[in-house]
Chain A
Amino acid sequence: MSSINEIASYAKEKAAQLGIKKFDIYGSSVDETSVQVDRGEPKQVKASQRSGVTVRVWNEHNTVGITSTTDVDANGLELALKTAYEASFFGAKEHVPDFSPEAFAPVADIPNEKATQAPVSNLISSLIEVEKQLLEAHPAIKGVPYNGMAQRDIDKFYLNSEGALRNESRSYASIYLYSKTEEEGRKPRSAGAMRINRSVDMLDIDGCLKEAAEKTISHLNYEKVKSGKYCVVFSPEAFLDLLGAFSNLFNAQSILDKQSLSTPESLGNEIASPLLSLYDDALHSGNIAAETFDGEGTPTRRVSLVENGILTGFLHSSGTAKRLNAQPTGHANMGSKVTVGSHFYHVFPGVGAEREYSLDTAENIIYIDDLQALHAGVKALQGSFSLPFDGWMVSNGKWTSIDSATVAGDFLTVLKSIVYVEKEEKVTPGGVCPRIWVDGLSITGD
């Protein structure tokens, strides 16, 4: 990709030629490599070097148009500016976005270095070895149909016609393993694990292997569960998935669009058990893909969303903040219509629990390890969900894998029905969360 200074220079020159006085650009370039293996052989190796920018222009009537392009040379930027200018005449006439008031504000000072990319041959040999060990972990494990190791370098930048200019670089690597069992007279079973870190060298490959193997083996002896109401314990990953599916609760743009379970007046309401608190913390040390500024150039930060069950904040772009008389929070994605998205949830205990629970002593608990098909089973605007899951029935410390079953409920009711938030937090690729205990959820099994 052209350098950021070159892009800034091209854009300024071409905008002047086209009579465009106000514009901003958000762009990124990605260099990534990924490998998959199959029974000791590389199955597919992918490498990609790509870049793209989104150009936003304001016309003389102060309406906005945008265009995205992968052609980031002078000609490509000229075409993008022209197309965005044309689109600007059909842009929204109310609540027109503007530059972020924080586009010049300092961003967090976090390590901003790229890792040295490992040779592809190292990725392949590592993954082949891990696949071999996973296949050897138990005779019933017959394959690792989904596996992969990847490394990625990302450069991103934001600039605007008033002179704001910021950029950052990141590297991260990931591994996932998803193994499958086959046994005569038994249903095939599967489970997986994933790890992410700043470089291939830092990946916890052994931990990923161990988790994938243990989970897969633990599902070999499964039983049906009777349909009914249960106390359910969500794994950190499962609860974060559910929270993410209903993130419109905290999304100021969704709230303004009436596409949320919250309204502007919901702030200050008790929406969850006092046992629960929640931040969105882009800069959390566990967030491997941390970003220091958003699509409008606003610095990211930690935002309190729920304190002891009380809704305390929303996620904002500069536009939603202005409309709701708040501060931008660094959650904007640039677009013709600026959207808002979360970065990295951090769930933690709120007020002290009157009673503590333990999976070593509790009876008839459903432990949900992994929720599936969220795209199909979540009705985010209705607040309801009905989802298949992988999990276990836990009684007095004995874990029994559950044959196919679903969990159903209403998310706002789930939040209010939390009976325990464990103290030990787990850092996952998608956020930080302890196990969450919820009473009275519907399970459909046998």
Chain B
Amino acid sequence: MTLSTYSSTLLLSQQLPTLQYSPTPARFDETWEAPLATLLGLGRAAGADLIEFFLERVNYISCLAEDDAITSISPRLTTGAGVRVFRGQADCYVSTNDLSFSGLKSALEKGLSILGLQLPAPKAYIPEINLELLRDYATKKGKDTWLASCSSMREMGEILLAANDKLKQTASHVQSRRATYFRDWQEVLVATSDGTFARDIRLTQSVGFNLLCADGANRSSIAERAGTTSDANFLRNWNYETAAENVSESAGKMLYADYVESGTYPIIMANHFGGVIFHEACGHLLETTQIERKTTPFADKKGEKIAHESLTAWDEGRSENAFGTVDMDDEGMPTQRTLLIEKGVLKNFLADRAGSLRTGHPRTGSGRRQNYTFAAASRMRNTYIAPGDYTLEEIFASVDKGIYCKKMGGGSVGATGQFNFGVDEAYLIENGKITKPLKGAILIGEATEIMNKISMCSQDLSLAPGFCGSVSGSIYTTVGQPHIKVDSITVGGR
């Protein structure tokens, strides 16, 4: 048998300056395959173990209504690219706004030089990188028409003004009313020297109220947001009447609330955004990023009991239209449904490519980033505690004196596993009944301790949109849970 030689078809390094690529400027399609495959080959020829290009185009707009006027409409148009170069377990990331072939090549060259690598000599062959046929989730799922189908600037303004008007009708002692909306349309393309070549379009939208009420020295401020992915009609279908009534009711109750007395209490956390407790106290600690930093107490606990047996938890990217839903992650891997904890036993971590490389845990389609200026890292998607067996009545009946945390604010977890959450709307529970509103509460605890104190979960799972900030920037996530009881937790107050 005679083997044919391929050398005549291979590209020589010295031919690079003569190459003429003309990828479609307004769309990341198949025309990007040739220039990216060449650049990936160039990187491999220089000695990199793996190269990844992430290309991004964003069309973002936000709209703000204050009282009875639209005071801001802000469009933003962004294009950029990032190239990540791996050599052994080390990597570097270079980002640029210049998506021309020479701009991307310069970024690659910089990345290679940081890792001590150089572009190959003029007569060196550039290996071919055979990319898969473009895995185009945008076209396959009909996303190319989304942007044009979203609300126009005029419609945004009209809906927000109508919503603010409803707030005026339902709230009392109003100092200021705000309705805000944003639409974040993002087109991404990922090409990697392992052959990955995938495109997607994401459409993330959020709308909500901020209501500030004041009566003399008494003040209350309540915010509420709804959010979605994949629904061009989201704003048109926003039920602002119900949202306005809920926000007004909460602000009214909290206006005259007493400060919470600090101490240790049993608490009941409401469903929906109450899920932020699991996100902060446990979810972050199950990211391989935390294993790499040695900042999680759960690093070597896979297969062991880390939580109360009543607790099962998931992280997934598939719930329809949920805020953290993605068809593929920012490394081109299809999303999945990842069981984190089953009846208290740790089952899986969330891993991106680098995290998998450095910790050995399998990738879970969790490599996410805010934009092209960040390398992807292991991040949560839609994360929630699964429904349990208890009724709401049973949970409340189990508390003699405690605190009902109806609406949570934000929170964070530190390097030692200590977490904290603000509570925007809280009530005293006495003998199983809600009595008076409380303000100024902050929940503080240790991740390893709190997970064993979640002793009761109800059946009313509800998901809520959230924004999560971490090593790869601010990303859209979902938190969620049913009503849960925490047997005891430190509550900071007055």
Contact = CB atoms under 8 A, between A and B. Distances in A.
A255 to B, nearest CB: 11
6 contacts: A48-B95, A49-B96, A50-B95, A373-B411, A386-B440, A386-B442
A257 B444 CA distance: 33
Contact of B92 (A47, A66, A337, A384): A47
A336 B62 CA distance: 10
A122 to B, nearest CB: 12
Interface stretch (B39-47, B70-78, B341-349): B70-78
Nearest to B154: A90
Interface stretch (A185-193, A271-279, A307-315, A429-437): A185-193
Interface string A381-410: 111101110000000000000001010110
B90 A42 contact: yes
Given A83-B75, A145-B415, A408-B493, A376 B212 contact: no
B80 interface: yes
Nearest to A339: B72
B19 to A, nearest CB: 21
Residue from A48, A94, A386, A406 with most neighbouring chain B CB atoms (10 Å) = A386
A79 interface: yes
Interface of A: 1, 38, 41-52, 65-72, 76, 79-80, 83-84, 86-87, 89-94, 120-121, 142-143, 145-146, 178, 180, 187-190, 227, 257-259, 335-337, 372-373, 375-377, 379, 381-384, 386-388, 404, 406, 408-409, 442, 444
B416 A180 contact: yes
Contacts of A92: 69-72
Nearest to A42: B90
Interface of B: 64, 66, 69-80, 89-98, 107, 110-111, 113-116, 153-154, 157, 175-176, 212, 219-221, 259, 262-263, 292-295, 373, 375, 409-412, 414-418, 420-422, 439-442, 444, 446, 490-494
A375 B114 contact: no
B110 A386 contact: no
Contact of B80 (A46, A68, A70, A145): A70
Contact of B79 (A49, A70, A388, A406): A70
B95 to A, nearest CB: 4
Given A67-B76, A90-B70, A92-B71, A388 B420 contact: yes
Contact of B97 (A42, A71, A258, A444): A71
A151 to B, nearest CB: 13
Contacts of B70: 90-92
Contacts of B107: 49
Contacts of A79: 77
Contacts of B259: 384, 408
A145 B293 contact: yes
Contacts of B64: 337
A217 B176 CA distance: 48
A92 B67 CA distance: 12
Contact of B176 (A45, A70, A259): A259
Contacts of B90: 41-43, 45
A187 B79 contact: no
A258 B416 contact: no
The main secondary structure of chain B at its interface with chain A is strand
Given A145-B294, A376-B442, A377-B422, A70 B77 contact: yes
Contact of A146 (B71, B92, B415): B415
Top 3 A-B pairs, shortest CB-CB distance = A406-B492, A444-B262, A337-B72
B76 A408 contact: no
B72 A336 contact: yes
B262 A190 contact: no
B492 A386 contact: yes
Contacts of B91: 44-45
Contacts of B111: 47
Contact of B114 (A120, A142, A383): A120
A276 to B, nearest CB: 22
Contacts of A41: 89-90
Nearest to A385: B440
B219 A383 contact: yes
Contacts of A120: 113-114
Contacts of A89: 153
Contacts of A84: 75
B219 A258 contact: no
Given A90-B73, A386-B442, 16 more contacts: A44-B92, A46-B93, A50-B96, A69-B78, A70-B77, A120-B113, A143-B295, A257-B176, A258-B176, A337-B71, A337-B72, A373-B410, A384-B259, A404-B490, A408-B259, A408-B440
Contacts of B73: 65, 87, 90-91, 336
Given A70-B80, A408-B440, A145 B176 contact: no
Contact of A145 (B295, B373, B375, B490): B295
